[in-house]
Amino acid sequence: MFPTALWPWIGFNAFVLALLALDLGVFHRTSRAVSLKEAAFWSVVWVALAMLFNVGIYIFKGFDVAIQFFTGYLIEKSLSVDNIFIFVLLFSAFHVSAAYQHRVLFWGILGALVMRGILIATGTFLLEQVHWIIYLFGAFLIFTGIRMFLRREEVVHPEKNVLLKLARLWLPITQTYVEDRFLVRRSGKQAKYVEGNRRWMVTPLLLVLLVVESTDLLFAVDSIPAVFAVTNDPFIVYTSNVFAILGLRSLYFLFAGVINKFYYLKVALAIILVYVGVKMVLADVYHIPTLLSLAVIACVLSIAILASVIRSRRMVMRRGAEHSRVL
């Protein structure tokens, strides 16, 4: 299921853990709001690292594998933008301070990397042992794309989240946030939580983290099969996923305030999901070249972004004209 050489897996994961340790231990030791300038800088850094890694793949594995990585990265990156819509709504629903959002996203993404690694290993095993499941993956992506196209408005109901319900049922929870902490010790009477005369309690920030983790798991179920439409190499699927997810935090802080202006992004993501679903269904009948898939995905995203910018400018001009008439 995995390459015979373990050093690429060990080296890559050690590199990722080092970056995460540097991020939390040096650059974000204290909780604070992330500025647009900082978010833009880190977005460029994460993309640059992904492209350098892609160059390394080209050198050691060749052009075809490099194109597979880049296409998988672009698919995962575009689909991860959909997470930003949800994060904005979740942080608003839970009234999470801007200073604490980075901490939630950091640990949420760390958990997401573990979950996606498990899902990728499972998907690779299933594709090798039960080949016909590729049709099931493709049909699922087509269904998901159509559903996304028909239901473009994002609505979150965190109170319906199963993990949130279980946490509120079984765990002692503080009434308010306690700075950026997930756990605190408070005076209490429940013996199973007592340490001396105090007990451990979870804060609402941990509940937000649970909802973020479960939400990402749902998105991973959509996005990982989409990358399998490009390549069956688990290392390429995994690394493209990881690089896309690592850049999600900075992307969130960069676009959180304007994400609703990308009016046609949902349409583009729906088209991409349907396209890669069809690619998987037709895999044994006609192989669509990866380079063609890359061109289609890039064109769809470019058209959606351009159309969104044009619509946004027209709406601003229309509001300005209406304001002038009122005056």
pLDDT digits (tens, 9 = 90+) for 131-171: 788 888 889 889 988 988 887 666 666 667 777 778 778 88
The whole-number average pLDDT for the span 243-255 is: 86
pLDDT digits 0-9 by tens, 266-291: 889 899 999 999 998 888 888 888 88
**Per-residue pLDDT band at 57 (split at 50, 70, 90):** very high
Residue 195 has pLDDT above 90, yes or no: no
The whole-number average pLDDT for the span 112-119 is: 87
Residue 5 has pLDDT above 60, yes or no: yes
Give the integer Cα–Cα distance in Å for 222 and 144.
Answer: 7
Residue 194 has pLDDT above 50, yes or no: no
What are residue 195's DSSP bridge partners? 198
The owner of tokens 């994961």 is 13
pLDDT of residue 157: 66
pLDDT of residue 299: 94
Give the integer Cα–Cα distance in Å for 103 and 32.
Answer: 9
Give the integer Cα–Cα distance in Å for 204 and 187.
Answer: 18
Residue 2 has pLDDT above 50, yes or no: no
Highest mean pLDDT among 46-60, 71-85, 163-177, 244-258: 46-60
Give the integer Cα–Cα distance in Å for 264 and 107.
Answer: 30
Q: Indicate the Cα dihedral angle 163, 167, 168, 173, nearest 10°.
A: -140
**SS3 breakdown of the chain: % helix, strand, coil, rounded to 5?**
75, 5, 20
Give the integer Cα–Cα distance in Å for 116 and 136.
Answer: 19
pLDDT of residue 154: 60
Give the integer Cα–Cα distance in Å for 226 and 120.
Answer: 11
The whole-number average pLDDT for the span 233-254 is: 89
pLDDT of residue 1: 42
Within 94-132, where are the H helices? 98-129
Give the integer Cα–Cα distance in Å for 309 and 50.
Answer: 26
Give the integer Cα–Cα distance in Å for 165 and 171.
Answer: 10
77 neighbors 244 (Cβ within 8 angstroms): yes
pLDDT of residue 72: 92
238 neighbors 120 (Cβ within 8 angstroms): yes
Residue 4 has pLDDT above 60, yes or no: no
Among 208, 206, 196, residue whose Cα is nearest residue 172: 206
205 neighbors 182 (Cβ within 8 angstroms): yes
Of 27-36, 99-108, 167-176, 208-217, give the lowest mean pLDDT range: 27-36
Other beta carbons within 10 Å of 268: 22
Other beta carbons within 10 Å of 177: 16
pLDDT of residue 295: 92
Mean pLDDT rounded to a whole number for the chain = 83
**Per-residue pLDDT band at 216 (split at 50, 70, 90):** confident
3-state secondary structure of 32: coil
Structure tokens at 84: 């930003």
Structure tokens at 172: 């002692």
Q: Strands across the sheet with 183-187, in order?
A: 183-187, 198-202, 194-195
Residue 55 has pLDDT above 90, yes or no: yes
**Per-residue pLDDT band at 80 (split at 50, 70, 90):** confident
pLDDT of residue 326: 55
226 neighbors 79 (Cβ within 8 angstroms): yes
Give the integer Cα–Cα distance in Å for 74 and 207.
Answer: 31
Among 313, 230, 308, residue whose Cα is nearest residue 268: 308
